[in-house]
Amino acid sequence: MSDQEGILQLQRSGRWAITRPGRVPVEIASGEVFRVEVNGEMKPTRMEFRHFVGPANVHRLHGRSGEYYSIDGYSLRNGMRAASGGAR
Protein backbone atom coordinates (compact mmCIF):
# COMPACT_ATOMS: atom_id res chain seq x y z
CA MET A 1 0.00 0.00 0.00
CA SER A 2 1.45 3.38 -0.99
CA ASP A 3 1.57 6.40 1.33
CA GLN A 4 -1.54 7.81 -0.40
CA GLU A 5 -3.54 4.57 -0.13
CA GLY A 6 -5.92 3.62 2.60
CA ILE A 7 -9.40 2.33 3.25
CA LEU A 8 -12.58 4.13 2.19
CA GLN A 9 -14.93 4.95 5.06
CA LEU A 10 -18.21 6.87 5.15
CA GLN A 11 -17.98 9.64 7.77
CA ARG A 12 -20.80 10.85 10.04
CA SER A 13 -20.91 14.01 7.89
CA GLY A 14 -21.97 11.90 4.90
CA ARG A 15 -18.64 12.45 3.13
CA TRP A 16 -16.27 9.67 2.16
CA ALA A 17 -12.75 9.66 3.59
CA ILE A 18 -9.56 7.72 3.07
CA THR A 19 -8.44 6.32 6.41
CA ARG A 20 -5.02 5.02 7.40
CA PRO A 21 -3.87 3.61 10.75
CA GLY A 22 -2.50 6.29 13.04
CA ARG A 23 -3.57 9.15 10.75
CA VAL A 24 -6.51 11.53 10.62
CA PRO A 25 -9.08 10.52 7.94
CA VAL A 26 -8.76 12.57 4.74
CA GLU A 27 -12.21 13.53 3.44
CA ILE A 28 -12.76 13.50 -0.32
CA ALA A 29 -14.39 16.77 -1.40
CA SER A 30 -16.89 17.18 -4.21
CA GLY A 31 -15.01 17.58 -7.49
CA GLU A 32 -11.89 15.86 -6.17
CA VAL A 33 -10.24 13.06 -8.16
CA PHE A 34 -9.32 9.92 -6.22
CA ARG A 35 -8.81 6.23 -6.99
CA VAL A 36 -10.73 3.15 -5.88
CA GLU A 37 -10.07 -0.53 -6.35
CA VAL A 38 -12.32 -2.04 -9.02
CA ASN A 39 -11.79 -5.69 -9.99
CA GLY A 40 -8.32 -5.63 -8.42
CA GLU A 41 -7.19 -2.48 -10.26
CA MET A 42 -6.96 1.09 -8.96
CA LYS A 43 -9.26 3.24 -11.13
CA PRO A 44 -9.46 7.05 -11.08
CA THR A 45 -12.84 8.68 -10.54
CA ARG A 46 -14.23 11.99 -9.29
CA MET A 47 -16.44 12.59 -6.27
CA GLU A 48 -19.66 14.56 -6.79
CA PHE A 49 -22.70 15.39 -4.66
CA ARG A 50 -26.24 14.55 -5.76
CA HIS A 51 -29.09 16.46 -4.08
CA PHE A 52 -32.25 14.54 -3.36
CA VAL A 53 -35.21 16.27 -5.03
CA GLY A 54 -38.68 16.96 -3.70
CA PRO A 55 -40.26 18.62 -0.67
CA ALA A 56 -37.98 19.25 2.30
CA ASN A 57 -37.90 16.49 4.91
CA VAL A 58 -39.57 14.03 2.51
CA HIS A 59 -36.60 13.09 0.33
CA ARG A 60 -33.95 12.63 3.01
CA LEU A 61 -31.83 9.59 3.70
CA HIS A 62 -30.40 9.17 7.19
CA GLY A 63 -31.10 12.87 7.83
CA ARG A 64 -29.16 14.02 4.76
CA SER A 65 -30.35 16.04 1.78
CA GLY A 66 -28.16 14.17 -0.73
CA GLU A 67 -25.25 11.83 -1.20
CA TYR A 68 -21.67 11.74 -2.45
CA TYR A 69 -20.96 9.35 -5.32
CA SER A 70 -18.40 8.31 -7.94
CA ILE A 71 -19.15 9.93 -11.33
CA ASP A 72 -18.04 6.69 -13.02
CA GLY A 73 -20.72 4.70 -11.23
CA TYR A 74 -18.34 2.76 -9.00
CA SER A 75 -20.15 1.44 -5.96
CA LEU A 76 -18.46 3.09 -2.97
CA ARG A 77 -18.47 1.06 0.23
CA ASN A 78 -16.76 1.00 3.59
CA GLY A 79 -13.55 -0.99 3.60
CA MET A 80 -12.63 -0.75 -0.08
CA ARG A 81 -9.08 0.22 -1.02
CA ALA A 82 -8.80 3.87 -2.08
CA ALA A 83 -6.12 6.49 -2.71
CA SER A 84 -6.00 10.25 -3.02
CA GLY A 85 -5.10 11.85 -6.35
CA GLY A 86 -5.08 10.24 -9.73
CA ALA A 87 -5.27 11.46 -13.33
CA ARG A 88 -8.62 11.63 -15.11
* CATH number, domain with residue 38: 2.40.10
Q: Which parts of the chain register pLDDT below 50?
A: 59-61
Sequence-distant (≥ 6) Cβ neighbours of residue 85 within 8 angstroms: 4, 33, 34, 35
Q: How many helices (H) and strands (E) does the chain have?
A: 0, 7
For residue 12, the enclosing domain spans 5-84
Burial class (CB in 10 A: 0-12, 13-18, 19+), 68: buried
DSSP state of 59: S
Residue 4, pLDDT score: 85
How many structural domains does the chain have? 1
Q: Please give the C-alpha separations between residue 37 and each of 8, 10, 51, 64, 83, in angstroms, as whole numbers.
A: 10, 16, 26, 26, 9
